[in-house]
Amino acid sequence: MPMESFVQVKPSSPLPKTGLINSQRQFPNGFLWGVSTASYQVEGCNENSQWAEWEKMGRIRSGDRSGVACDWWANAERDFDLARELGINALRLSVEWSRVEPEEGRWEPAALDRYRELLSALAQRGIRPIVCLHHFTNPRWFEEKGAFLYPDASLLFERFARHVVHALGDLCDCWVTFNEPNVYAASGYVLGEFPPGKTGQIGTAIRVTSVLAQCHLRAYRTIHELQPKAQVGWAQHYVVFQPVATVFDRWVAHLLNETFNETFLRLVEDGHLQFPLNLLDGNAGKVKGACDFVGLNVYNRLHVAFDLRNLAHMFGRIFVPKHVPQGDPGVERPYGEAYPKAVRAAVERVRPLNRPIYILENGVPDASDRIRPWLIVNVIRELHSLIREGHDIRGYFHWTLTDNFEWTEGWNLRFGLVQLDPKTQDRTVRPSGRIYAEIARSNALTPELAETYASEVPRPLAAQGS
């Protein structure tokens, strides 16, 4: 299919009047109904990244290992067939830097060939690819140098981006530079949950974010140099921080919002952070405006109360009340409130950037499909309203197609439209997969689906949260 049409799609077709639960919600022609994935989580046998080390160090809370994951390096095509059967017309995947450049300056043509096969396989199935250059994983050699704190990090990242786009550019013209720079920085330098496992280093996390913004800018320019018509953006993770009640709770929710949601976003929007964070934001001024679209990854609402003992969370106690809709719990704590209106908050926040918007991730951990149908239908209902209000939303990518290796949670949290047994590699489409297929195929949320799944709020899990 002509890739041109991918990026030119505009939500120009007039939408029928909707609003009542029993009316048909039609989406604009060319709307992308996708799924998102990440190399480390699906490919398997990724031995050469800092996450492989992290696994060896016993840092996966569930004790699991990624192993062959979803076996994509050998056979992603099996899942691409499933995606096509489900009516999915777009798929986001990431390229594993540690495969492409296993040692500094040594490029592995076989790895790039395999990515070419994947992108061709998607094209053969009528599925449009979005390729992400960095989804949390670094080559081991890059991590050993200090990762994005290494003075030449942005040059190294730019060189990697150039290689990838040079090799794959005829098969893809829509690129995500970084997946969730804020999650990478916060999890690695404040929460200690991702490598390098540092805790409480808020200043360092902001410095890392600033470097990621500079890497994004270099990649943005390089991609455009090689592919003038390419569409380049990043995937912004956005959390709604809900203060409990008092002015102190509100203050703390504001601080969390500023340091987590707003950092990378503001660098792209304004080229600098707000005082006093601008004292740490380095040389990111030229990043202003460097994106052709905004990708949004939206999952949760987190509740926040002021608590002097929680310095690491900027004096906020973050929790998920027991009574709110939520997916399966993590090994040590709840995952978050499943909150369809978070999508509205995120879309409204990025409107001033005046760029097309893709929802590049949204989902819930839910092995038994207890809440996923409700979430999908309500989020899509919200998206339809947002489009009717004039927001330029071009696609929705569910996280994820097949259960995959969920970072520190291992196989404990299941986000797939398709259930996977990692041992046998057997796959079973969940009911939510069928629901999503119905929406994707009809390019609409039908009254029947809305009526069946939108209104009944799923029963809360017993005894979760604090």
For ligand BGC, the binding residues (CB under 6 A) are 38, 41, 179-180, 183, 237, 297, 361, 399, 406, 415
Structure tokens at 191: 């929460």
Q: How far is the CB of 72 from ligand BGC (least distance, A)?
A: 14
Q: How far is the CB of 169 from ligand BGC (least distance, A)?
A: 24
**Long-range contact set of residues 243-249: C-beta below 8 Å, sequence gap at least 24:** 243/303, 243/304, 243/305, 244/303, 244/304, 244/305, 246/306, 248/306, 249/304, 249/305, 249/306
Q: How far is the CB of 93 from ligand BGC (least distance, A)?
A: 12
- For residue 446, count other CB atoms closer than 10 A to its CB: 16
Q: How far is the CB of 407 from ligand BGC (least distance, A)?
A: 6
Tally: H helices and E strands in the chain? 16, 14
DSSP string, 76-88: HHHHHHHHHHTT-
Structure tokens at 152: 């030449």
Q: In terms of CB distance, is 260 or 399 closer to ligand BGC? A: 399
Q: How far is the CB of 297 from ligand BGC (least distance, A)?
A: 5
CB contact set of 365 (below 8 Å; sequence gap of 6+): 327, 328, 330, 335, 406, 409, 413, 414, 415
Q: In terms of CB distance, is 315 or 405 closer to ligand BGC? A: 405
Q: In terms of CB distance, is 80 or 415 closer to ligand BGC? A: 415
Q: How far is the CB of 235 from ligand BGC (least distance, A)?
A: 7
DSSP string, 220-258: HHHHHHH-TT-EEEEEEEEEEEEE-SSHHHHHHHHHHII
What φ, ψ does residue 49 adopt, rounded to 5°? -110, 170
Q: Which residue is nearest to ligand BGC (CB)?
A: 38
Q: How far is the CB of 388 from ligand BGC (least distance, A)?
A: 28
Encode 162-190: b = buried (16+ Cβ within 10 Å), e = exposed: bbbbebbeebbbbbbbbbbbbbbbbbbbb
Q: In terms of CB distance, is 39 or 89 closer to ligand BGC? A: 39
Q: In terms of CB distance, is 32 or 167 closer to ligand BGC? A: 32
Q: Which CA distances in Å does 122 have to 66, 70, 89, 395?
A: 24, 17, 9, 17
- Angle of the 262-270 helix axis to the 202-226 helix axis, nearest 10: 50
Q: In terms of CB distance, is 93 or 386 closer to ligand BGC? A: 93
In the block, tokens 């592995």 appear at 108
Q: In terms of CB distance, is 234 or 453 closer to ligand BGC? A: 234
Q: In terms of CB distance, is 174 or 364 closer to ligand BGC? A: 364
Q: In terms of CB distance, is 26 or 408 closer to ligand BGC? A: 408
Q: How far is the CB of 24 from ligand BGC (least distance, A)?
A: 31
Q: How far is the CB of 405 from ligand BGC (least distance, A)?
A: 8
Upstream peptide bond of 400 is cis (omega within 30 degrees of 0)? yes
